[in-house]
Amino acid sequence: MSDKEPLFSSKNLKLLTNPLNVENPITVQVLGICSALAITVKLEPAVVMAISVMVVLAVSNVVISALRKLIPPRIRIIVQLTVIATMVILVDQILKAFAYDVSKQLSVFVGLIITNCIIMGRLEAFAMSNSPWTAFLDGIGNSVGYGVILIIVGFFRELLGSGEIFGYPIFEKIGIYNIGYENNGFMILPPMALIIIGIIIWVQRSRNKELIEES
Amino acid sequence: MKSLRKFVDKIKPHFSKGGKFAMLHSTFEAFESFLFVPNEVTTKGSHIRDALDMKRTMIIVVAAAVPALLFGMWNTGYQHNLSIGMEATIWENFVFGFLKVLPIIVVSYVVGLGIEFAVAQIRGHEVNEGFLVSGFLIPLVVPVDVPLWMVATATAFAVIIGKEVFGGTGMNILNPALTARAFLFFAYPAWMSGDTVWIQGLKNGEGIIDGFSGATPLANAAAGLFDNLPSTWEMFLGNIPGSVGETSVIAILIGAVILVATGIGSWKIMFSMVAGGLAMGLIFNAFAVNPYMEIPAWQHLIMGGFAFGAVFMATDPVTAAQTEYGKWIYGFLTGLLAVLIRVINPAYPEGVMLAILLMNVFAPLIDHYVIEANIKKRRRRVRVES
pLDDT digits 0-9 by tens, B212-253? 666 777 777 777 777 777 788 888 888 888 888 888 899 999
Which among A128, A9, A138, A149 has a CA at the least distance from the CA of A63?
A: A128
**In Å, what is the CA distance from B110 to each residue of A100, B105, B153, B174?**
49, 9, 12, 21
A168 near B CB under 8 A: no
A-to-B residue pairs, Cβ atoms closer than 8 angstroms? 23
Residue A40 is predicted with a pLDDT of 87
- Asked if the Cβ–Cβ distance from A185 to B183 is below 8 Å, we say no
Q: How many Å from the N-terminal Cα to the C-terminal Cα in chain B?
A: 63
| Reduced 3-state DSSP string for chain A | CCCCCCCCCHHHHHHHHHHHCCCCCCCCCCCCHHHHHHCCCCHHHHHHHHHHHHHHHHHHHHHHHHHCCCCCHHHHHHHHHHHHHHHHHHHHHHHHHHCHHHHHHHCHHHHHHHHCHHHHHHHHHCHHHCCHHHHHHHHHHHHHHHHHHHHHHHHHHHHHHHCCECCECHHHHHCHHHHCCCCCHHHHCHHHHHHHHHHHHHHHHHHCHHHCCCC
Residues of B in contact with A184 (CB under 8 A): 153, 187-188
Domains of chain A, residue spans = 44-205
- Asked if the Cβ–Cβ distance from B189 to A185 is below 8 Å, we say yes
d(CA A154, CA A159): 8
Strongest mean pLDDT among A29-43, A133-147, B81-95? A133-147
Residue B138 is predicted with a pLDDT of 92
Q: Do the beta carbons of residue B325 and residue B266 sit within 8 Å?
A: no
Instruction: Taking residues B349-374, report their average pLDDT.
Output: 92
Half-sphere exposure of B23 (CA within 13 A, CB side): 3
Q: Do the beta carbons of residue B88 and residue B96 sit within 8 Å?
A: yes
Residues of B in contact with A182 (CB under 8 A): 150, 188, 190-191
d(CA A121, CA A124): 5
CA nearest A190 in B: which residue? B186
Q: Do the beta carbons of residue A198 and residue A30 sit within 8 Å?
A: no
> What contacts B39, CB < 8 A, 6 or more positions away?
none
Instruction: Taking residues B357-361, report their average pLDDT.
Output: 93
Residues of A in contact with B347 (CB under 8 A): none
CB atoms closer than 10 angstroms to residue B213: 16
Residue B46 is predicted with a pLDDT of 62
- Percent of chain A at pLDDT above 90? 29
> What contacts B52, CB < 8 A, 6 or more positions away?
none
pLDDT digits (tens, 9 = 90+) for A17-27: 888 878 888 88
Q: Which of A157, A179, A182, A199 to mutate to test the interface with B (most CBs of B within 10 A)?
A: A182
d(CA B225, CA B311): 28
Q: Please tell me whether residue B231 adopts helix, strand or coil conformation.
A: coil
Least Cα separation, residue B49 to chain A (angstroms): 31
Which among B143, B36, B25 has a CA at the least distance from the CA of B80?
A: B143
CA nearest B189 in A: which residue? A185
Instruction: Return the CA Rg of chain A.
Output: 19
CA nearest A187 in B: which residue? B187
d(CA A87, CA A84): 5
Please give the residue that has the higher pLDDT: either B187 or B295. B187
d(CA B26, CA B121): 6
Strongest mean pLDDT among A4-13, B22-31, B184-193? B184-193
Q: Please tell me whether residue B315 adopts helix, strand or coil conformation.
A: coil
- Asked if the Cβ–Cβ distance from B187 to A202 is below 8 Å, we say no
- For A177, list phi and psi in degrees, rounded to 5: -70, -25
Q: What are the DSSP calls for B126-171, one per residue?
A: PPPTTHHHHHHHHHHTS-TTS-HHHHHHHHHHHHHTTTGGGTSTTT
Greatest C-alpha distance within chain B = 80
Which among A26, A57, A55, A23 has a CA at the least distance from the CA of A152?
A: A26
Q: Which of B122, B173, B181, B186 to mutate to test the interface with A (most CBs of A within 10 A)?
A: B186
Q: Do the beta carbons of residue B14 and residue B21 sit within 8 Å?
A: yes
To the nearest 10 degrees (0 to 180), the angle between helices B2-15 and B25-35 is 160
Question: Is the dihedral angle over the CA atoms A144, A150, A155, A156 positive or is it negative?
Answer: positive
pLDDT digits (tens, 9 = 90+) for B268-322: 999 999 999 999 999 988 887 787 778 888 888 888 889 999 999 999 888 889 8
CA nearest B192 in A: which residue? A185
- Asked if the Cβ–Cβ distance from B188 to A182 is below 8 Å, we say yes
Please give the residue that has the higher pLDDT: either B194 or B41. B194
Please give the residue that has the higher pLDDT: either B197 or B94. B94
> What contacts B218, CB < 8 A, 6 or more positions away?
B303, B304, B342, B349, B350
Instruction: Taking residues B161-190, report their average pLDDT.
Output: 88
Q: For B36-45, B49-58, B187-196, B232-241, which range has the lowest pLDDT when averaged over its residues?
A: B36-45
Question: Is pLDDT at B22 greater than 80 in this prediction?
Answer: no
Name residue A211's beta-bridge partners. none
d(CA B152, CA B359): 26
Least Cα separation, residue A20 to chain B (angstroms): 24
- For B188, list phi and psi in degrees, rounded to 5: -130, 65
Residue B123 is predicted with a pLDDT of 78
Residue A73 is predicted with a pLDDT of 87
CB atoms closer than 10 angstroms to residue A205: 15
pLDDT digits (tens, 9 = 90+) for A175-202: 778 777 888 888 888 889 999 999 998 8
Instruction: Taking residues B186-204, report their average pLDDT.
Output: 77
Of A180, A181, A184, the CB nearest to B187: A184
Which among B60, B59, B61 has a CA at the least distance from the CA of B33?
A: B59
ipTM over 0.95: no
Residue A1 is predicted with a pLDDT of 40
Mean pLDDT of all residues belonging to chain B: 84
Residues of A in contact with B187 (CB under 8 A): 184-187
pLDDT digits (tens, 9 = 90+) for A136-163: 999 999 999 999 999 999 999 999 888 8
- Asked if the Cβ–Cβ distance from B188 to A185 is below 8 Å, we say yes
Residues of A in contact with B190 (CB under 8 A): 182
Domains of chain B, residue spans = 2-35, 64-373
Q: Do the beta carbons of residue B190 and residue A184 sit within 8 Å?
A: no
Q: Do the beta carbons of residue B148 and residue B107 sit within 8 Å?
A: yes
Residue B205 is predicted with a pLDDT of 63
Q: Please tell me whether residue B31 adopts helix, strand or coil conformation.
A: helix
d(CA B187, CA A188): 9
Q: Do the beta carbons of residue B284 and residue B293 sit within 8 Å?
A: yes
Residue A90 is predicted with a pLDDT of 92
- Asked if the Cβ–Cβ distance from B149 to A202 is below 8 Å, we say no
Instruction: Return the CA Rg of chain B.
Output: 23
Mean pLDDT of all residues belonging to chain A: 86
CA nearest A194 in B: which residue? B161
- The model's pTM is 0.85
Instruction: Taking residues A205-212, report their average pLDDT.
Output: 81
What is chain B's percent helix, strand, coil content, to nearest 5? 65, 0, 35
Q: Is B231 left (phi over 0), alpha (psi -120 to 50) or beta?
A: beta
Residue A4 is predicted with a pLDDT of 65
Question: Is pLDDT at A2 greater than 50 in this prediction?
Answer: no
- Asked if the Cβ–Cβ distance from A180 to B161 is below 8 Å, we say no
